[in-house]
Amino acid sequence: MEFFRIKHDIPFMRYGKITTAISLITFLFAIWALAARGLNLGIDFTGGTLIEVTFNQPANIDQVRQTLEQARIKDASVQVFGASNDVLIRLPLHGNIGNSKSSDAVINALHSLDASVTPKRVDFVGPQVGSELYNNGALALMVVAGGILIYLALRFEWRFALAAIIANVHDVVIILGCFAFFQWEFNLTVLAGILAVLGYSVNESVVVFDRIRENLRKMRKATIPQIIDNAITTTMSRTIITHGMTETMVLSMLFFGGDALHNFALALTIGILFGIYSSVLVASPLLLMFGVKREHFLKSTTKTEVSANGAQV
Amino acid sequence: MNRFPLWKNLLILAILLLGVLYSLPNLYGESPAVQVSPDGNAVKANSSLKQQIIDELHAAQVNYTSVNLSGNSVVVALANTDSQLKAKDVLESRFGNGYSVALNLISASPAWLSAIGAKPMYLGLDLRGGVHFLLQVDMQAALGKAIQRNTSDIRSQLRDQKIHYSDITSTSQEIILHFSDAATRGLANTLITKNFPDLLLTEQDNNGDFILQADLRADALKHLQDNAVQQNITTLRNRVNELGVAEPLIQQQGADRVVVELPGVQDTAKAKEILGRTATLEIRLVDDIHDIAAAVQGQVPYDDDLYTERNGAPILVHKEVLLTGDYITDASPGFDQQSGQAAVHVNFDSRGARIFRDITHDNVGKRMAILLVEKGKAEVITAPVIREEIDGGRVQITGMNSPEEASEVALLLRAGALAAPMNIVEERAVGPSLGSDNIRKGFHANLWGFVAVISFMIFYYRMFGLFSALSLTANGLLLVALLSLMQATLTLPGMAGIALTLGMAIDANVLINERIREELRNGSSPQAAIHAGYERAWGTILDSNITTLIAGVALFWLGSGSVRGFAMVFCLGIVTSMFSAVTVSRALANLTYGRRVRLASISI
């Protein structure tokens, strides 16, 4: 069976203005969300303490708050987490020292409230480590973007590389924007998900670009927009199915993976959805905008004729 | 054209069989175990220890699965965690002294699997439960300590040589000496240059004030920092042994950090206390009033402790601790100048020196016990009579049997106190229930996603969908086998990585299958379509996997902890998927269709 039997090429490039407008609006919205609301950074990046405890019976949040206040544990945020027996307590950093002891203080205080309390998870990140993780994360993002840019520039041409990387950085900004808008917690695992998405959605651009390169050689009489339209249309079936399959796996993580993988799966979902859109409808118009021409492209491929031959879909 | 040579088919088969073999241990999982290992290197675990353990377990009626000698420890495998805890109690009460008894997990695979090195995947702390600490060594404090030590040494040497200085001060960075004339300063300069090669001296003149400034040389500073971290690691290792952790990881990270991972440890407060403890030397007064014979009989006065001296004689010591090892700045082996006996020279800092002077001042004629507290057990090293008030904070401890013992005690005193204070800058603790919960969730996420993907593939691409499904299965198998073989740490994000790479790996099969369909649509013969589909999709598969690999490598390089686990799986998954999606599915297609010369249609 087949879902996609498209007889005529869909004139994607004619809708170029609309698609560019759509992505510009989403992009600006994401920037606004990031600027106005900011990311809800987890303690991985801000530093602080996070304690997850389980009670034998449904927990009384007010009582937990009171107990912590009595124990002079300041600024603790207490919330029910998952099942009503589980409570999540967050503590901000206080100065530079003694932070690692605050989790012990919390657990001791809760023990006095209810002896059945058992800590399930304790995370403490010092201020220095937090900012290092933040900086390394930002560095990783740039290294990945730079690495992909260089690889695509070598494998195709700089216009292709630039178009692909702009399209995918646009995805990353939109994911970050969603996290800022909904104030979902942004932690190390989410960052890993975003980097994975960055590497993954470039695939999409690669597949389309491969086909554009092939068409430039084959469709001698066609205009560049026609060539691009044809490339997108012929690879569309593969695009939808591949992303559908990856998304199936990600949804499985979202539903079965529990809280620890929830935001990771969320980041991937947004990344995959926008990845399809941007690598097809952002990267290709950009390519057109950068003025890709048959001549300078063919010149650059004559050297890599052998490998380029295999690269067709 | 769609036939692999025999050797290629056999090679693929062999790789898949190896994959099955090395992922098999994960099916058997791990069983609870108790590990008994001798402390230190003096005693070795041997078959007589094994026999003793077997006898002990029989006597206590604890059922065990097996008892094995493995490395320098004896490992007892048990059926469940209840008997594991029981066995630990039994063995701890019998071997607690001189051995460390720890809970562990061992592979439950049959012996022939273990013999070929097949082990289950190594689970990270977020899956097996345990504590992760990142400790930062306070280098400023280490430097301050070294400056202090040098200051007091310079002071006493100048005094010994009768070189008069008007003042000597030190900051946390440097030592500044003031002299009243240049000639004296010259003498001091020569002396310090000769005896303190680590110090860099600079002279300054300031209106009749002749200043000599001493800084630590850059290489000495580096040496000091390296030593501080190394010594702290040694100390931490000794302390962790006390916790009874089976496979602790203690590792330097960067220039001034130490990672400590303690699988299976639940009591983080206790772990922190033990890691952070400093006091190892105690000075207390000897109780010579109460009857020692009665105490040996069991009537120990309530404010006394009964210990044995090195010569075996019992000794009663007051419970009150007058001075602890916290104030020690240095300890070095040496000899007593009068008797020539081996001794340990201990330097106290100024506060410790003052306390020590007061103790000796107040208790002339009484006996003072110097106790070494190691692993929670105290031992009286020596108990000399205080003859006079001792000022200056330099104490000589005699009572050592040999120079070797003196240097051992000096090391212990030095190592007992950390070279520099450490702060916990990161802590991650996961309880065992959350760990097994995470395993279950990670497994289900993989399972249901996988089932959905292969169902769709078979439904949508029929026979070629089946090939894709089988090659995806092979991919998962090889990935698990590779992770088991490398014993890479599997974390929850790592399990997510498995799911994600499986979801992404199917891309290659989709590319191939779509290409075959397209070739068929364009009028190619089925055989030609299969051939073209595989050959032409390869370039695209390579390109897209390399860009993904770039992301994986960057993550591995810059990531930390569990994210690294994700990156590891991600990179390995890309490599295995290139093999399975292209080679395995091609082999299946070739075996099914390749032999038919007149192939009219294929199921896709």
- pLDDT over 90 at B246, yes or no: no
In a domain, A2, yes or no: no
CATH number (domain holding residue B315):
3.30.1360.200
Q: What is the CATH number of the domain that holds B191?
A: 3.30.70
Indicate whether A75 and A209 sit together in one domain.
no
Same domain for B547 and B505, yes or no, is yes
Residue A1 forms part of a structural domain: no
Work out the mean pLDDT of chain B and round it to a whole number: 85
- Residue B355 shares a structural domain with residue B445: no
- Interface touch B554/A245, C-beta < 8 Å: no
Contacts of B296 (CB under 8 A, 6+ apart): B306, B314
The A residues from 293 to 312 touching B (CB cutoff 8 Å) are 307-312
Domain boundary pick from B202, B220, B238: B220
| Cross-chain Cβ contact A313/B511 below 8 Å | yes
Is A257 a domain residue? Answer: yes
pLDDT of B408: 67
Q: Which token pair is B145?
A: 């300590």
Residue B163 lies in a domain: yes
Q: Looking at the partner chain, which of A147, A210, A268 has a beta carbon nearest the beta carbon of B540?
A: A210
A257-289 residue pLDDT tens: 988 899 999 999 999 988 888 877 888 888 888
Are A90 and A197 part of one and the same domain? no
pLDDT tens digits along B160-203 = 888 888 888 888 788 999 988 888 899 899 989 988 888 898 98
**Whether residue A244 sits in one domain with residue A194:** yes
- Across the interface, whether the CB atoms of A191 and B563 are under 8 A apart is answered yes
How many residues in total does chain B contain?
A: 604
Q: Please identify, among A96, A125, A154, the residue that sits at the C-terminal boundary of a domain.
A: A125
Number of domains in chain A: 2
Tell me which chain B residues have a C-beta less than 8 angstroms from the C-beta of A309: 539
Strand order in the sheet with B328-335: B328-335, B342-348, B394-397
* Residue B490 scores a pLDDT above 70: yes
* B99 touching chain A per CB within 8 A: no
Q: Which of B256-270, B298-312, B370-384, B449-463 has the lowest mean pLDDT?
A: B370-384
H or E segment and range at residue B377: strand B377-382
**Do A222 and A85 sit in the same domain of this protein?**
no
Three-state DSSP class for B356?
A: helix
Domain match, A60 and A37 both: no
Q: Are residues B47 and B100 in the same domain?
A: yes
Q: Do B535 and A242 touch (CB under 8 A)?
A: no
Establish if B363 belongs to a structural domain.
Answer: yes
In a domain, residue A118? The reply is yes
On chain A, the residues whose CB falls within 8 A of the CB of B562 are 188-189
**Residue B262 within any structural domain of the chain:** no
When mean pLDDT is compared over A53-57, A266-270, B215-219, B380-384, the highest value belongs to A266-270
For the cut 50, the answer to whether the pLDDT of residue A313 exceeds it is no
For residues B330 and B458, membership in a common domain is answered with no
Across the interface, of A155, A200, A307, the residue whose CB is closest to B548 is: A200
Flag whether pLDDT at A169 surpasses 50. yes
CATH code of the domain covering residue B96: 3.30.70.260
What is the tens place of the pLDDT at every residue in A126-168?
Answer: 888 888 888 988 998 899 899 989 988 988 888 889 998 898 8
Q: Is residue A77 part of a domain?
A: yes
Predicted local distance difference test score (pLDDT) of residue B354: 83
Q: Are residues A156 and A288 in the same domain?
A: yes
Q: Does A30 score more than 90 pLDDT?
A: yes
The residue of chain B nearest to residue A194, with distances taken between CA atoms, is B551
B580 and B547, same structural domain?
Answer: yes
In B431-470, the residues whose Cβ lies within 8 Å of chain A are 431, 433-434, 437-438, 441-442, 444-446, 448-450, 452-453, 456-457, 459-460
Same domain, A210 and A98: no
Residues of the domain holding A109: 48-125
CATH of the domain at A75: 3.30.70.3400
- Report the complex ipTM: 0.87
- Helix B47-59 × helix B81-95 angle, to 10°: 120
**The residue to which tokens 């997990």 are assigned:** B105
Mean pLDDT of the B343-348 span: 85
At B416 the pLDDT is 59
- Tell me the count of A-B CB pairs closer than 8 A: 251
**Exposure pattern of B232-250 as b/e (b: 16+ CB <10 Å)?**
bbbbbebbbbebbbbebeb
Does some domain include residue B71?
A: yes
Same domain, B476 and B580: yes
Which among A72, A103, A125 is the end of a domain? A125
B294, B409: one domain? yes
Name which of A152-156, B225-229, B244-248, B346-350 the model is least confident about.
B244-248
Q: What is the pLDDT of residue A249?
A: 94
Assigned domain for B124 exists = no
Q: Is the pLDDT of residue B405 over 80?
A: no
Same domain, B486 and B585: yes
- B255, part of any domain: no
Please name the residues between 481 and 500 in chain B that touch chain A, using a CB distance below 8 Å: 492-493, 496, 499-500
Rounded to 5°, the CA angle B512-B518-B522 comes to 145
Between CA B238 and CA B80 the distance in angstroms is: 30
User: Domain for residue B372, yes or no?
Assistant: yes
Structure confidence at residue B279 (pLDDT)? 44
Kindly state whether residues A151 and A238 are assigned to the same domain: yes
**Residue of B136, B563, B564 best to disrupt the A interface, most CBs of A under 10 A:** B563
As a whole number of angstroms, the distance between CA B427 and CA B332 comes to 35
Residue A6, in any domain of the structure: no
Identify the CATH number of the domain in which residue B499 sits.
1.20.1640.10
Residue A170 to residues A158, A294, B395, Cα–Cα distance (Å): 18, 27, 69
Measured CA to CA, the distance from residue B464 to residue B457 in angstroms comes to 8
Let me know whether B156 and B94 are in one domain.
no
DSSP string, B195-236: H-TTEEEEEEEETTEEEEEEEE-HHHHHHHHHHHHHHHHHHH
Helix (H) / strand (E) element for B306: namely: strand B304-308
Verify that A120 and A240 share a domain, yes or no: no
Which residue, of B220, B235, B265, is where some domain finishes? B220
Flag whether A4 is in a domain.
no
pLDDT band at A312 (very low <50, low <70, confident <90, very high): very low
Whether residue A284 is contained in a domain is answered as: yes
Chain B residues closer than 8 Å to A93 by CB: none
A271 in Cβ contact with A175 (< 8 Å):
yes
Nearest-CA distance A218 → chain B (Å)? 15
Q: Which residue of A has its CA nearest to B544?
A: A203
pLDDT tops 50 at residue A309? no
Total count of domains within chain B: 4
Q: What is the pTM of this model?
A: 0.78
Q: Choose one of A73, A106, A125: the last residue of a domain.
A: A125
Give CA–CA dist B65/B209, Å, rounded: 80
d(CA A117, CA A79): 15
For chain A, give the number of residues.
Answer: 313
In a domain, B442, yes or no: yes
Last residue of a domain, one of B89, B108, B127: B108
CATH at residue A248: 1.20.1640.10
Q: Are residues B39 and B179 in the same domain?
A: no
What confidence score (pLDDT) does residue B418 get? 66
Whether residues A158 and A104 share a domain: the answer is no
**Are both A115 and A256 inside the same structural domain?**
no
* Pair A193, A273 in one domain: yes
Q: What is the pLDDT of residues A65-83, one digit of tens each?
A: 888 888 888 788 898 877 7
Domain with B63 in it: 30-108
> Residue A27 — pLDDT band, cuts 50, 70, 90?
very high
Q: Does A118 touch chain B (CB under 8 A)?
A: yes
Give the pairing of strands B281-285 and B368-374: antiparallel
B contacts of A192 (beta carbons < 8 Å) = 493, 555, 559, 563, 566-567
